[in-house]
Amino acid sequence: MKAINPKLIMKVIAINILGLISLLLMIEGCSYLILKQLERIERADNKPMKEDTSEKEQVPATWNFIFDPAVGTVHKKIDYLTSPNSKDSTSNNDLFTYKSYGQKLPNLSIIVLGGSTSDALGTQFSGINGTWPDHFSKMLSKIIRRKVSIINAATGGNTSSQELIRLITLMQYYTPNYVISMNGINEYYFENIAELRDNRNTYAPRMLADALNRPHIVIPYKNKMICSHICLPSSILNYHMQINKLLRKYKKSRQRKEVDIAKFNNNKSKIKTDNILSEEKVNQINRAANIWENNILYMNAISNARGSEYFVFLQPTWGLDMTRKNVLNLTSEKEIEGSIKLLRNNYLERINLLYKIMREKCEKINYCIDLSQNDQLTKNYNFYSDPRHLNSAGNKKLSSEILKSFREITNKDG
C-alpha cells in the first residue's frame, strides 16, 4: 500500500482553502459592484426629489451600544464625545446627557426616560437637536421664563423595564422636579422577542438575553468583548458582507412588489383583517401591556418617594388606528416604502392591539397622558423619518402636545 504523503495532503488543503477564499472575494467584489450600480440607478431615479433631502442625511449617526452592568445597555462613550447632540451636555458619563435651556433661576429639572424616540443621540432620525426633549425644553423655558435642565437617560431599544432600572440608578445622582416617560411602542418587544416572553427575563437587558441564547456568546463591554470561546476583533464581527447587503436589498424589493400585488388585489376582493392574530399572540400582547402598566406604577411610586412628580406619555407611532386596507390605499412613494414594515408579520395588527389595551389602562391612571390618538402624529408620514421614528418636524409637533398637557397638569404658565 502506497504511503500517504502528508505534504501532498497539506498542499491540497491549502489549494482548496485559497480557492474558497478567492471565490468568496469574487462574490464580494461582484456584489459590491452590483450594489454601486443599483445605488447610481436609484440616485438617478430620485434626482427630481433631491430638494426633499432631510436633515438626518447630513448628520453623522453615533448609534453604537454596549453592555452596562448597571442599566443593561448604553451608548459607547465615543458616541457621547462625538455626537453634535451632546455638545452642550455637561454630563461626563455614558448614562445620560445633561442640557440646560434658559438662565433665570430657580432651575426646573426633568429626567426623561424612553427609547429611541427620546434618545439624545438620535441624529439619524431628527438631525441636530431635533429630538422632542430638545424642542420641549426650549418651549418650556421660554414660557415659564426659567432655566430648564433636561437629564436625558433615554436609550434606543429601552422598554419600560429598562426605564425603571435607569430611574432607580439616576435617582442616586439627582432628585428632579419631574420625571417624564415617553413609551409604548417598545413594549412590543415583550411579545416579539422569544427571550423576553419568559417572565424571568422581564428586567433582563435585551442584548444580554439575546446573547446568552446563542451558541457563541459575544457581548460588547467598554473596550472589551465578553465571549464564550474565541473573541474576534470588532472590525470582523461588525463587518457586513456585500452579498448580505445585496440580498437584503433584493428582499426589500421583493417585499415592495408584494405590497404592490396586495394593493392590486385589494381592488378586486375584500381583504380579511379579522382574527389574524392567534390566541397565543393575543395573550403575549396582553402580558406586554400588563408589564408596561406595572412598570409605570413602580416608576410613579419611586418618583413620589423621592419628591418628584411622574408623568408617562403614551407615544404615538405611525400606523395606529389604521387597517390593512387603509395601508394598502396609501399613494405616496414614501408611505408605500414605510408600509412594508407595517404589513410584515402582522406588525400593524399587533401594535394596534397592544395600544388598544394600553390606552384602556392609561385612561384609568391620572398621570398617564395618551398622545397615541393624535391623527397628525400617527397618520401623517411627513412627520416621520421611518415607520418608528419621528423627524425633527414630528418631534416639534409632539413637543407642543406634551407641553400643552404638561401645563394643564402642572399649571406651569410662568
pLDDT (tens place) for every residue of the chain, 414 residues total: 566 777 778 888 888 888 888 887 888 778 777 777 776 766 565 444 333 444 444 565 678 888 888 899 999 888 998 999 999 999 988 899 999 999 888 999 999 999 999 999 999 999 999 999 999 999 999 999 999 999 999 999 999 999 999 999 999 989 999 999 999 999 999 999 889 999 999 999 888 877 776 665 667 776 666 665 666 555 555 555 666 666 766 776 666 666 666 654 565 454 454 558 999 999 999 999 999 999 999 999 999 999 999 999 999 999 999 999 899 899 898 898 889 889 888 999 999 999 999 999 999 999 999 999 999 999 999 999 999 999 999 999 999 999 999 999 887 555
Distance CA 334, CA 49 (A): 11
Q: What pTM value is reported for the model?
A: 0.81
Place of cell 440608578: 169
Domain 70-194+255-410 -> CATH class: alpha beta
Name the helix (H) or strand (E) containing 111.
strand 108-114
Contacts of 409 (CB under 8 A, 6+ apart): 311, 369
Q: Which residue reads 414660557 in cell numbers? A: 143
Q: Would you say the C-alpha torsion 131, 133, 134, 140 has a positive or negative sign?
A: positive
**Contact by Cβ (8 Å): 196, 190:** yes
Helix (H) or strand (E) holding 224: strand 224-227
CA distance 229 to 285: 36
Rounded CA separation 339/328 (Å):
8
Q: Is 313 left (phi over 0), alpha (psi -120 to 50) or beta?
A: beta
What is residue 26's predicted lDDT score, i.e. its pLDDT?
A: 84
User: What does the DSSP 8-state code read for residue 101?
Assistant: E
Say which residues have a Cβ less than 8 Å from residue 74's Cβ, sequence separation at least 6: 65, 66, 68, 94, 95, 155
* 106 cis-preceded (ω within 30 degrees of 0): yes
Name the grid cell of 141. Answer: 423655558
Q: Residue ranges of the domains in the chain?
A: 6-52, 70-194+255-410
> What does the block give as the cell for 392?
425633527
Q: Looking at the chain, how many residues does it have? A: 414
Confidence at residue 61, expressed as pLDDT on a 0 to 100 scale: 64
